[in-house]
Amino acid sequence: MNLKIMMVFGTRPEAIKMAPLARLLQNRSDIDLHICSTGQHREMLASVIKAFDLQIDEDLDVMTRDQTLNGLSQALLGKLDHSYHQNQPDIVLVHGDTTTSFIASLAAFHRHIPVAHIEAGLRTGDLQSPWPEEANRRLTAVLANLHFPPTEKAKLNLLAEGVCDHCILVTGNTVIDALLWMNERLDQTNWQPAPQSPLASIDPARKMILITGHRRESLGHGFEEICHALDTLAQRYPDIQFVYPVHMNPRVHDVVYRMLGHRENIILTAPQDYRHFVWLMKNAYLIMTDSGGIQEEAPALGKPVLVLRNVTERPSGRLQDRAMLVGTNPDKIIAQTTRLIEDAAYYREFTTRHSPFGDGRACERILERLLAWKQSQSLDECA
Ligand SMILES: CC(=O)N[C@@H]1[C@@H](OP(=O)(O)OP(=O)(O)OC[C@H]2O[C@@H](n3ccc(=O)[nH]c3=O)[C@H](O)[C@@H]2O)O[C@H](CO)[C@@H](O)[C@@H]1O
């Protein structure tokens, strides 16, 4: 009998991180994979599905305008319950720390369906930051039967919360599998953006700084500070190109376009699909971001990354990276960027390729563990 796996995700980062696993599972004759999208980030998710050549089996389409987290949770719980009833999966795979991950785990728990949690064990230790993700990932850990932390540090977090060792497998982060897959495709075809793409105006002879930012905790004042720092830097270094694919959240979009839309060497674009975005990362001199995924991807490409957050659940383990955690304080952003632009020896300290978050084989390890789990069916001892 084939193993019936249901994969549930809803946001762009979850989709990117689940995509290489979906590709692997789809090619197995001993596995029936059902991919369920909750539609938490509808448009941005569609572009990921296309970039990885995947097909969604079911779209719950739960998002409505101005939905609260409770409204979203309620809609998800009902629709997932129905889907589990219809599809009767042997196991549900969830990822990370979204409302989708937690509610998909809860709905599975209520139906006595085992849950495997990918990117398990990330913690800041502060339930309010990031909010609501820290709660989502802790609650998911309570409900999951198999835990796939990306690093040993994340495994220790799970052990400290009482998760049994036998149910944990350190795999590396699947985002590195996704990144290496896409990177290889770009290299093989020497891929370049099409002439009509806003990225085509980037001059390869000039330095380019890539920026992303959308964290809830920075909305409002935090974003104004980030934009203020970028504006100052863009004036100070007119020869450097600043490229900022702006998140669709109007509370991010409106501030960024109002404060930076007029500067000639700042290119504001819509969010880019994964192929374009990996190309941007490869060609960047420096990346500034509050994104979790990009913090993981940048070192694998040997790119320095300035983290626009005060705390991170993704410590790289390198001492010098502490200086890169600058938050939204404009003075710190400007000072650290200036040093990285002007001090070549200092810049080089951050450009060695290293991959503290994974080696690109996370999906293989997850597959092997799922097959072993199916054979032994020994979950009872961990549930
Ligand atoms: C607290 C925290 O850290 N939470 C994380 C956060 O995820 P994140 O911060 O990693 O999210 P993003 O920055 O949106 O995505 C990043 C991915 O997107 C690619 N990318 C980016 C811009 C673009 O224009 N085109 C792209 O393709 C990029 O290469 C990368 O792979 O929220 C998720 C729940 O929503 C959580 O699960 C996740 O823990």
Question: With contact defined as beta carbons under 8 Å apart, do 15 and 220 qualify?
Answer: no
11 with 147, same domain: the answer is yes
CA distance 300 to 303: 8
Domain limits for position 215: 196-348
259 with 121, same domain: the answer is no
> At 145, which CATH number?
3.40.50.2000
Give 125 Cα–ligand 1 centroid separation in angstroms: 20
Our count of domains for the chain comes to: 2
319 with 368, same domain: the answer is no
- Per the residue annotation, which of 97, 290, 297, 321 is the catalytic one? 97
Looking at the domain assignment, is residue 24 inside a domain? yes
Q: Which of 268, 307, 271 is nearest to 286 (CA)?
A: 307
Looking at the domain assignment, is residue 353 inside a domain? no
Looking at the domain assignment, is residue 13 inside a domain? yes
39 lines ligand 1 (CB under 6 A): no
Nearest ligand 1 atom to alpha carbon 95: 37
217 with 151, same domain: the answer is no
241 with 268, same domain: the answer is yes
371 with 322, same domain: the answer is no
86 with 208, same domain: the answer is no
Give, for all 383 residues of the chain, the pLDDT tens digit. 899 999 999 999 999 999 999 999 999 999 999 999 998 877 788 899 999 999 999 999 998 888 999 999 999 999 999 999 999 999 999 999 999 999 999 999 999 999 999 999 999 999 988 889 999 999 999 999 999 999 999 999 999 999 999 999 999 999 999 999 999 999 999 999 999 999 999 999 999 999 999 888 888 899 999 999 999 999 999 999 999 999 988 888 999 999 999 999 999 999 999 999 999 999 999 999 999 999 999 999 999 999 999 888 898 888 888 889 999 999 999 999 999 999 999 999 999 988 899 999 999 999 999 999 999 875 455 54
Looking at the domain assignment, is residue 95 inside a domain? yes
Active site residue 166: no
